[in-house]
Structure 1
Amino acid sequence: MELQGKGPLGYPCNQESFGQLATYKQDVCHAFRRHSGPVIDRAGTLTIVRDMGAILRVLGEERANYSDRVRCYCRTMSKTEIDALTAELFDAFDNRGGKAADVARICRLVLPSGVIVKTRPDFTVYTVDEFIEPRQRLLTDGRLVEFSEWEVSERTEIAGEIASRFCEYRKSGILDGEPFEGGGAKAIQFVHTSDGWRIAAFSWYDQP
């Protein structure tokens, strides 16, 4: 069974990071065993004496180590998922070699209330449906063929359950029988939901 949820630091985590939590709990138990021992007093009563100072020091060190491991692991996993989500976004417009462009997948990648913005030549704000319909038509009616666009550089910042990615891209295709090439920049905002990372908004700028 695949586990999904939040780690103790608020980061979205999966099965492996929950496994690290189990390791931390084992470390806690070992600390109590290492720094505890039986003592019999003059009345013959057996008690367990614990060096709480030593135990707390160990727990502090283990918690710090565990927190660092989980933070690093969850950020790595989140970046991997965001990379894959971004690749899916770019691939949605690909119709090379007669392949049907799957622009409708954007409904799955972007939140239903997501905002999409084009900055030029005419500044336009789209809903998800408003963005999909004309692009699906353009990529399937034969006017725009052999089209693709791809990232050439990116910078991604992740803070817990939100992330921002700024990327530059290139594109090429054949529009109305004329080959063309171009490029631009995209800014993409992500949020982590119960279904994983999703796009909350994106905007793009086409170079003139």
Structure 2
Amino acid sequence: MSHLERSLVKAELDRLTMKFFQAVSFEPGEAPSYASIAALFIERGLLIKNVGSAPEISSVQEFIAPREALVGSGTLTRFHESEISESTLIFGNVAHRFSAYAKSGTLNAKPFEARGMITTQFVNTPEGWKMSAMAWDDERPGLSIDKATEHSS
């Protein structure tokens, strides 16, 4: 893969990642664009929340449904998530991105903030690059982004 080809693929992976964060983020009085998430993923894409004792593994629709319910009921009135930093590896038709993220919102009228790490897998399809899986974990005592991003040999 030439430097130009790699740059073009990286730009597309950046775009897909940004579109995901935009789709889940919204301000009070706005509605998130959850429906746009499906176009970012392959048909059988997975989203895995792994912040507790067991992973919560969801299809795209299973990921969207409970979040739409929280917003629709007025329980979640604001949410913002963004990428702090990333490392992306591309090999032919597959790619991997490890991202540090920050999120904040208002749930049950109480503000919250958290940071964590997301690992995203991408595949090149006949329709272009798509996400195939995304898994994340939040910081907690003993687990910090700063320690996770230190390079080990």
Bucket of the pairwise TM-score, normalised by the shorter protein? 0.7 to 0.9
**Is 1:84 the counterpart of 2:18 in the alignment?**
no
Q: Give the corresponding residue for 1:100.
A: 31
Matched, 1:179 2:115: no
CA shift for structure 1 position 139: 2.7
More helix by share: 1
The one of 160, 169, 180 aligned to 2:92: 160
Deviation at 1:97, TM superposition (A): 4.1
- Which residue in the other structure is 1:130 paired with? 62
The answer as to 2:5 corresponding to 1:74 is yes
Compare CA radii of gyration and give the structure with the larger one. Answer: 1
SS in structure 2 of the partner of residue 76 of structure 1: helix
SS at structure 2 position matched to 1:96: coil
- Aligned identity (percent) is 38
Q: Which residue of 1 aligns with 2:148?
A: none
Q: Which segments of 5 or more consecutive residues in structure 1 lack a partner in the other structure?
A: 1-10, 12-70
Offset of residue 118 of structure 1: 1.4
Q: Deviations over 1:102-131 (max 9, x none)?
A: 112111111111122111224211122211
Alignment of 1:18-97 (within 5 A): 71-97=2-28
* Structure 1 match to 2:136: 204
Structure showing the higher strand proportion among its residues: 2
Give, in whole Å, the separation in 2 of the partners of 1:141 and 1:91: 21
Q: Which residue of 1 aligns with 2:45?
A: 114
Distance in 2 (alpha carbons) for counterparts of 1:170 and 1:86: 14
TM-score, normalised by the number of residues in structure 1: 0.64
Gaps of 5+ in 2: 141-153
Aligned amino acid, residue 162 of structure 1: V
Structure with more contact order per residue of length (Cα contacts < 8 Å, sep ≥ 6): 2
1:98 is paired with a residue whose SS is coil
1:144 match: 76
Pairs aligned (count): 139
Q: Structure 1: which 4+ aligned runs deviate by more than 4 Å? A: none
